[in-house]
A and B are shown apart, each in its own frame.
Chain A
Amino acid sequence: MYGSNKKWALYIVLIIFLLIIPWLMGNYLAYLFNLSGIYIIAILGLNILMGLGGQMFFGGVAMMAMGAYAAAFLANDLCFPFYISIPFSGLITCILSLSITFPALRVRGLYLAMVSVGFHLILEQIIGGWGSFTGGYDGLSLSKASLAGIEVASDRAFYYVVLVTVVLSLWSAVNLMKMRVGRAIWALGQDPVSTSVLGINVTFYKIVAFMICAFYCGISGGLMAHYLRFITPDHFTILTAIMLLVGMMVGGWGSLMGSVAGGFFVTFLPEAIGLFKDYFLGATTALYDLQATISGIIIIVVVLYIPNGFAEWSKDLRSKWGYNRSERR
């Protein structure tokens, strides 16, 4: 009895803390938190598809791009308010992602990885080239988001939007994974052959996994579009995809709660690198290359030494949502 009271107390403290955070920090930090939240959602989708579903699919950032540009279109051309355009951008991303889902069904492992990278590159070309629709490399801007006439444009205000979306995403993901769908996807990731032998339609659940990922990544992109109010292909590069991957590993491969850690890591690491550069290396060092080098090294270090990321720490959290991944040999 005492234990559960303590737990509730903790939750309430956590909720209050989350609600008042933006007032405790400056605008820039709030901006970073918002960005983290956006990435958390994308990483969530990727964790479901790659971590649980075992699909070596590196096109998550491409899906984010689709969501972002879809949201921009819905908001600019069709004047959808942000709370409508974001969910719809998720749906549009799902539909558009079918183009890569079906080929992806036919290949697995390394081939899928190559194909998905190709998918990303092709999409990058399309976005860059279709200037009339996407604004090409010059980018596309959106007007301020508004809710029932009130502007939701400041970092603090948008924080609540992000918070709500993240919470909803996490909650839906956790529950989704507890349902039959989630278990099927997990089984698929463990061993597709055995799973099919059990009578589970592997193809169907693969598609479902892709769609879930597409939806989350699409929403993430849409959220980003409305928040930054300006999107270019540079927001969705291969480097971003790599960073998401690193975030996934650090947070815990396949760990839904680890996505939170991953999202923060993805946002704060480049900042840390930038600070490091400013203090120690001076302006002549190219930031992009430095980021690349350090990210690469971090990836290697994480793979070599912390393959399970924060998941190692959060074992009890994981037993909460039901099943543990098989042990690393």
Chain B
Amino acid sequence: MLIQLIISGLALGSVYALIALALVLIYKGSRLLNLAHGELVTIGAYFSLAIIVQIKLPYLVALFPAVVVAGIFALIVERIVIRPLAGSEEWPILIATWGVSITIRGLIGLIWGHAPRPLPSPFTSQHLRWGVYSISGQELVIIITSLLMLLIFYLFFTRSKSGLGMQAVADNHLGASLCGISVRRINALTWIVSGMVAAVAGITVSPIFFLHVDMGFGLFLGAFSAAVLGGFGSIIGAITGGYLLGVIQTVTGGYMPAAIKSSVPFVILILVLVLRPTGIFGKAVIERK
């Protein structure tokens, strides 16, 4: 039973890891917490729903255009709301992203309504069995897609020029400008990447968890807790925290009532903030001048 739970936990953890990664990316690049992040996840999932239902593409194929659209959507948000506020204090940007979050949620409610919808996927009904353990096809899809996504991201981040640009901007805006790196362009790129990664998470998890207007918030809270657990600001921390939280939450859910399970991310968040605010991999960020 425990192993079974851990396997499922890894699936949930993959989702958290991706969303947390996307969140921390934006934070590293522009020092802002994107409160609309959950909505990026939701939008990705709803886009894929629209593509599957309206254009009648199969699930896996629909993933690609949905992710691209989500990336563009993230870019639009960055352009309209974030960029004009570059250089502002914490407050205005935080509230502005919250405004974006509410607006998106309202729009989704207006367009799709409040009834939870499942995302049709051929994998939900399939199971892979191995001895006494089984894993649902969708969970397998989640894990594999996430690992692929993480790999692609790793290669992009460490090997490509834009990836280097992102690392540079995250470390020192001014230094990056002086190297000829356009901080604005990198920030836009960061949002696009973030939106795409978040969308993948949303699309892979929706067949199991159902699409609804507020799905983003719960996942955002989980991703945020995961990032804090792993050490907020650290990419490795975000990924590790994601997997850890997923496993902890699922295992807890196996032995405790459902209400407790959904509060695990929040409890972990409080525990970490109170006991070890820097998280697992957290280190004092070397101050930029």
Contact = CB atoms under 8 A, between A and B. Distances in A.
Interface of A: 56, 103, 106-107, 109-111, 113-115, 118, 121-122, 239, 242, 245, 249, 253, 285-286, 288-300, 303-304, 307, 328-329
A116 to B, nearest CB: 12
B128 interface: no
Contacts of B277: 107, 111
A236 B284 CA distance: 38
B85 interface: yes
A107 B33 CA distance: 15
A106 B269 CA distance: 13
Contacts of B89: 328
A165 to B, nearest CB: 28
Contacts of A292: 102-103, 105-106, 109
B149 interface: no
A103 B270 contact: yes
Contact of A115 (B95, B102, B108, B273): B273
A286 B108 CA distance: 11
9 contacts: A239-B102, A286-B110, A289-B108, A293-B109, A294-B106, A297-B103, A300-B99, A303-B92, A304-B84
By Cβ-Cβ distance, the 3 closest A-B pairs, closest first, are A296-B103, A293-B106, A299-B99
Nearest to A299: B99
Nearest to A297: B103
B110 A290 contact: yes
A291 B102 CA distance: 10
A288 B102 CA distance: 11
Contacts of B94: 56, 110, 113
B87 interface: yes
Nearest to A111: B273
Nearest to A281: B110
Q: Which secondary structure dominates chain A's binding surface?
A: helix
B42 to A, nearest CB: 13
Contacts of B204: none
Q: Which secondary structure dominates chain B's binding surface?
A: helix
A296 B101 contact: yes
Interface of B: 33, 80-81, 84-85, 87-92, 94-96, 98-110, 113-114, 221, 224, 228, 263, 266, 269-270, 273-274, 277
A111 B85 CA distance: 21
A198 to B, nearest CB: 22
B234 to A, nearest CB: 16
B102 A295 contact: yes
Contact of A118 (B87, B114, B266): B266
Given A111-B273, A296-B106, A304-B96, 7 more contacts: A56-B90, A113-B33, A115-B269, A118-B221, A292-B102, A300-B96, A303-B95
Given A110-B33, A286-B109, A299 B274 contact: no
A290 B102 CA distance: 10
Contacts of A106: 273-274
Given A114-B269, A242-B98, A329-B87, A300 B81 contact: yes
Contacts of A300: 80-81, 96, 99-100, 103
